[in-house]
Structure 1
């Protein structure tokens, strides 16, 4: 058998290693992570800066600049969220069929970047609807192929670290985006439309990072994957994991309810924004250590810990009215966010063969997103018709049930599971 080249890629053919490292890895605290891992993490950071720059100003732009109704705002975000949640499964399966990851990821990043200034150019709310559709179509298209590239950027023993670093980049972007917007508006007094125009800059920086990622072509002679969404074609353990993920996800409603609860208890708007920023910062700080620890003691164990944090945080929001404690609970919930994004995807990628990895991660992401939509709808009904505390008690209960389902349905295999 021929020796691998210095970059770590084995020669193509039936004897090629199934999960080669595309380039040399770093040593020390970030051992096992390749140049591609860092490029993909930077892509997520820049992409989230671009997206989160819009988060605090889009509703204001719609209602004040374009005089859109609340129903129009809800329609736009509902369609955008639905598209982003449904597309990853199909994009991942298409990536598996084509046996290519990078081209679809590039298309997704490009669409999302171009869509941002189109929002600013809109003169009616229907224009924003079209641009947001394009934006979230791009986000959904890039997600699964990028995660498949990420899984291939490190060996099996360091996959949790790879997803942890990407999650840290993503959450750091979610922290920096709103802060950058506040600085631009406060220091320069820019018109709101300029926020959308300027958001293309980090969007294209994300695209540039993907250009430099190397992708190994599938080994010659490997069977071509059919474009198939039949759940029976995927491993039983993976299907059980999707069930447990869906159960927990049915209680994981939008963070908007956490923000509303915080404001309802008397926290000022400025303080609420700072708490939200701290939430994203904690998620960024937790992601990499959680991913690295999952490589050592198992993904399932870390996810169970994360679901416990989820349940405690939501139960606290249901029962506690102390302002300081509410702020601390919000920030604590960021630890769950960091754990869940990093370790959850790494666990899904562990369970599917390399040839089906993009589709496997894509359908996992779709499960998370669609169950979250249902959770938000149920939480909204409980919020309006039963009581605000009931929305969080419901979420805490589903988190506990999800943890129970994970422990009972998904056997641990040790190490990275």
Structure 2
């Protein structure tokens, strides 16, 4: 696979124009737009920033600020749920004004400013405001950024493009926690150093987005006729909500929401592993690093596979990997083997579903509704996972950790074939276009 790294937009990604499918493409060669790669670098820098803070935030809130675990539970729920509330708004505004780059820029810039706020704010109210601003920024930027990826990619290569972007994104997610642990190792109580470093990475990402990334539009710019004194140009297409709320998209949203309700938080899986023995407890802070390493190793191959055999198939099979994660965590397997397998399966699940879901939503919507469609799918999943995490916490309390995860695994085993039947009409040549 060849990845284009040219900084100059090619004929298929001139600013203001979505790419056209080439008349002839050499067999076996797939190119990824430099715009996609640059957006991946922006996301990588932003994830280094955000994950370096996330890795130490629980300790900082409870140990340094002295807040209770109840306060931390509220803040953690806020961290997970706020972005879902503004994703559709970000996608809708991006579609309406047809300025995906600058809507995404606002989101990235807001999150960067929030990092700076950590240096000056302390106490529950200040941390709440900082986390809210950070997550609102994430919610605003996600769909417009994915619209840019869609607009800069060929339809037959969309899964690969999202795979490349998610790979770079998850390099940042793996590096961020390691950076935080290294800073604390060298500078004890160096939380301010982490916050300052986090802001620096976020600011660099915002600058690259603003200066380097072209504003590739989701629809072609309309030009007036030569004698444009009395322009007869066609009117701007109306935004059609039915594209997002009916037909194939409704099936996708229903299936993604149902499966999202059975996707418990990664932290619960890690807590089950921790309870198994000393190995898991020793490496608990770096579990999500291992998951992200597996994710970034598989994101491009599974994205390319989705382009080849169908994105719906890969999306459904990704939840089989999630099922394998639950079963492996609950069954009496050796500690090291269970930990490694769980991290691999969990990384495979994210690699097969995260970017692939965005590619599916983009494929099932029109250029005028790409941002809103992607945001709708991501919002449904985010809200479903938030409800899943809350519900699983109660289930764990009621029946215990192994029983609770086996119950969810059993329901997921039934839900996967139901989702496959629901999505069956999407298993067509259009799914691979």
Task: Say whether 1:295 aligns with 2:307.
Answer: yes
Task: Say whether 1:182 aligns with 2:181.
Answer: yes
Matches within 5 A, 1:391-410: 391-410=404-423
Distance in 2 of aligned mates of 1:251 and 1:65: 34
Which of these residues, 273, 278, 281, is aligned with residue 262 of structure 1?
A: 273
Superposed displacement of residue 175, structure 1: 0.8
User: Which residue of structure 1 aligns with residue 215 of structure 2?
Assistant: 215
Superposed displacement of residue 313, structure 1: 1.3
Superposed displacement of residue 206, structure 1: 1.9
Task: Say whether 1:416 aligns with 2:429.
Answer: no
Residues 101-126 of structure 1, C-alpha deviations (whole Å, 9 max, x = no match): 01110000001111112123222121
C-alpha distance 181-383 of structure 1, shift in aligned 2 (>3 A): same
C-alpha distance 209-397 of structure 1, shift in aligned 2 (>3 A): farther
Matches within 5 A, 1:40-55: 40-55=39-54
Task: Say whether 1:250 aligns with 2:265.
Answer: no
Superposed displacement of residue 39, structure 1: 0.6
C-alpha distance 398-238 of structure 1, shift in aligned 2 (>3 A): farther
User: Which residue of structure 2 aligns with residue 327 of structure 1?
Assistant: 339
Segment of structure 1 superposing worse, 407-416 or 112-121: 407-416
C-alpha distance 373-28 of structure 1, shift in aligned 2 (>3 A): same
Task: Say whether 1:281 aligns with 2:293.
Answer: yes
C-alpha distance 397-166 of structure 1, shift in aligned 2 (>3 A): farther
User: Which residue of structure 2 aligns with residue 383 of structure 1?
Assistant: 396
Distance in 1 of aligned mates of 2:248 and 2:374: 14
Superposed displacement of residue 213, structure 1: 1.4
C-alpha distance 233-360 of structure 1, shift in aligned 2 (>3 A): closer
Which of these residues, 328, 346, 357, is aligned with residue 316 of structure 1?
A: 328
Distance in 2 of aligned mates of 1:103 and 1:144: 12
Superposed displacement of residue 11, structure 1: 9.2
The answer to whether the 8 Å contact 1:86/1:366 transfers is yes
C-alpha distance 11-41 of structure 1, shift in aligned 2 (>3 A): closer
The answer to whether the 8 Å contact 1:102/1:146 transfers is yes
Residues 228-277 of structure 1, C-alpha deviations (whole Å, 9 max, x = no match): 7x567544111101111111110111111012112111235442234432
Query: How many residues were matched structurally?
Result: 405
The answer to whether the 8 Å contact 1:164/1:287 transfers is yes
User: Which residue of structure 2 aligns with residue 7 of structure 1?
Assistant: 10
Q: Secondary structure at the match of 1:54?
A: helix
Distance in 2 of aligned mates of 1:225 and 1:176: 43
Task: Say whether 1:339 aligns with 2:352.
Answer: yes
TM-score by length of 1: 0.90
Q: Which runs of 5+ in 1 are unaligned?
A: none
User: Which residue of structure 2 aligns with residue 119 of structure 1?
Assistant: 118
CA RMSD in angstroms comes to: 2.6
Distance in 1 of aligned mates of 2:64 and 2:348: 36
Residues 151-179 of structure 1, C-alpha deviations (whole Å, 9 max, x = no match): 11111011111100111112211111101
The answer to whether the 8 Å contact 1:20/1:152 transfers is no
User: Which residue of structure 2 aligns with residue 240 of structure 1?
Assistant: 251
Distance in 1 of aligned mates of 2:378 and 2:415: 16
The answer to whether the 8 Å contact 1:250/1:398 transfers is no
The answer to whether the 8 Å contact 1:245/1:368 transfers is yes
Superposed displacement of residue 321, structure 1: 4.7
Superposed displacement of residue 355, structure 1: 0.6
Distance in 2 of aligned mates of 1:60 and 1:10: 45
Segment of structure 1 superposing worse, 58-67 or 174-183: 58-67
Distance in 1 of aligned mates of 2:13 and 2:190: 53
